[in-house]
A and B are shown apart, each in its own frame.
Chain A
Amino acid sequence: MTEEIIIAGFGGQGVLSMGKILAYSGVMQNQEVSWMPSYGPEMRGGTANVTVIVSDNRISSPIINEYDTAIILNQQSLDKFEDDVKPGGILLFDPNGITRPPKRKDIKVYTIEGAEEASKMGNPKTFNMIVLGAYLKLKPIIKTENVQKGLEKSLPERHHKLIPMNLEAIKVGMEKVSEF
């Protein structure tokens, strides 16, 4: 199994940390992982993306030009990465703020109302975990217990009290993901 993922959106949405939790979770179940961020003068409100690869085998390149799954959280990223999803692959997006939705017919497209569900939960910071939950429903490559272990490993101890809320958000994402 090799899963090549791009997560893209605005800086501040938790794009990089979502990727980090995914990568840590992969390590927890003894898989090979790579986490390659776009880095640079990015800041809150600018664009940010990260390529995460989780595999049973040695990972050749952390830099890739097509993806099994694209998790898209703003219009600019949709415009940029829609064409790079492999035929038959998955595109998951949050329709909030999307005015030109995806057009491709040769991939599977799903939506998650991440921003809306996060505000329903009363904490906008759960946004990225809701999206992660939606992804894990579509591609159950990581067991929930390993996501929990990944959270424990990637969050500093003083934030461990937030883990139950994060796991709840993942559950919400799993329930609310729907076909586009």
Chain B
Amino acid sequence: MGELKLMKGNEVIAEAAIRYGCDGYFGYPITPQSEVMETLMLQKPWETTGMVVVQAESEVASINMLYGGASCGKRVFTSSSSPGISLMLEGISYLAGAELPCLIVNVVRGGPGLGTIQPSQADYNQATKGGGHGDYQTIVLAPASVQEMNDHVGLGFDLAFKYRIPSLILTDGVIGQMMEKVVVEDQKPRWTDEEIKEKYGDWATTGKQKNRKGNIITSLALESEVMEKHNIHLQKKYREIEENEVLFEEFQTEDAEYLFVAYGSSARVCQKAIEIARAKGIKVGLLRPILVWPYPKKRVSELADQVKGMLSVEMSAGQMVIDVKLAVNGRIPVEHFGRFGGIIPSPAEVVEALEQKIIGGK
């Protein structure tokens, strides 16, 4: 079923959240993602599904409202862009520590600092290596199309509740601002407290029942032994996610002698680069992580036995390339190509980089 639409990636995030049966959104405007809240305000879901939409006074307030909503077992989300996400990191660490499911959307812009409003992928390390303080991970989804912007809202929430972990959608202004065809799902009802309990256990603070102890949501444990035990539990959960939830897509890898590794908008540019390179007789394919945490290390490692070199293409100074290098472990050359500060590499530039850094450099 569903409905075919032509929409911007940012608009779809809002539309998909309403249709998924999301309970609340708390956010603060920032370019290039302001269409998320604009769309929610236009749709007025509080009049239809009962979903709450709040423009908070700051990003710090938004993320703490998210903590409150998530503590009650509600499906809540926020969105922002790089500087705004930096402000939220304390809250994200608390959410991870307290094991609260929620969805955070980062439509990345060029940095550091206030930077630029143009697209970038320079928040990869922040997203995939924790970001805030303490040993923690969040699930990180990296949509490469407007359709995936839609799909990742549902997938992000599903994984967040399955593992009691924050999910983060890592995207940028290319995917956020462009319009493509998208099939949005039919409206689903919001869950009741009972349904959440049935599906995901009785952990939320929905009011103390006579027949059980009160549920407590906290990231604080002053006794080191307790805190170590909690950390061991978190790490076990992260290993389980790494085992079960890896998701990637391959393009023309069957006969590939070289490989692009790229996610999100860069993966789209690489697909065009493949067309150009193959027309010149260069057998190159693409591995596109759909989730960038957990990372498809096993598959990268397998492909290292097949290809002669890999080029990690990112709109950053080289962040994901470190994960590629770890998986390859020195067996074949791995290089990085990227533009940064808001510049999107052209497909022709990517082919040139492959020829110079990998094919010429062997």
Contact = CB atoms under 8 A, between A and B. Distances in A.
Interface in A19-65: 20, 23-24, 27, 32-37, 39-41, 59-65
B184 interface: no
B269 A63 contact: yes
Given A33-B6, A61-B268, A63-B265, A20 B179 contact: yes
Contacts of A34: 178-180
A69 to B, nearest CB: 17
Contact of B272 (A37, A60, A153): A60
9 contacts: A23-B179, A27-B4, A27-B181, A33-B179, A34-B179, A60-B268, A60-B271, A64-B347, A65-B346
Interface residues of B, number: 27
Contacts of A64: 272, 346-347
Given A61-B272, A63-B346, A27 B173 contact: no
A39 B34 CA distance: 12
A24 B118 CA distance: 25
Contacts of B177: 36-37, 39
A32 B349 CA distance: 25
Interface of A: 20, 23-24, 27, 32-37, 39-41, 59-66, 153
B268 A33 contact: no
A24 B272 contact: no
Contact of B347 (A41, A59, A65): A65
Nearest to B118: A40
Contacts of B349: 65
Contact of B174 (A59, A60, A62): A62
B350 to A, nearest CB: 10
Contacts of B270: 61
A61 B271 CA distance: 6
Contacts of A20: 179
A128 to B, nearest CB: 17
- The 10 residue pairs across chains A and B that have the minimum distance between CB atoms: A61-B272, A60-B271, A65-B346, A35-B179, A60-B272, A36-B178, A61-B268, A61-B269, A39-B177, A65-B348
Given A33-B181, A65-B347, 16 more contacts: A23-B6, A32-B181, A33-B180, A35-B6, A35-B179, A35-B180, A37-B178, A39-B173, A39-B177, A59-B180, A60-B275, A61-B272, A63-B265, A63-B344, A63-B347, A65-B346
Interface of B: 4, 6, 31-32, 117-118, 173-174, 177-181, 265, 268-275, 344, 346-349
Nearest to B4: A27
Nearest to A154: B6
A165 to B, nearest CB: 23
Nearest to A32: B181
Contacts of A39: 31-32, 117, 173, 177
A24 B347 CA distance: 26
A33 B349 CA distance: 24
Contacts of B179: 20, 23, 33-35
A62 B178 contact: yes
A39 B179 CA distance: 13
A62 B181 contact: no
Nearest to A53: B180
Contacts of B174: 36, 62-63
A34 to B, nearest CB: 5
B347 A61 contact: yes
- Residue with the highest number of chain A CB atoms closer than 10 Å, among B118, B265, B272, B348: B272
Nearest to A40: B117
A40 B115 CA distance: 13
A41 B118 CA distance: 10
- Residue with the highest number of chain B CB atoms closer than 10 Å, among A34, A37, A64, A153: A34
Nearest to B344: A63
Nearest to A61: B272
- Residue with the highest number of chain B CB atoms closer than 10 Å, among A27, A35, A61, A62: A61
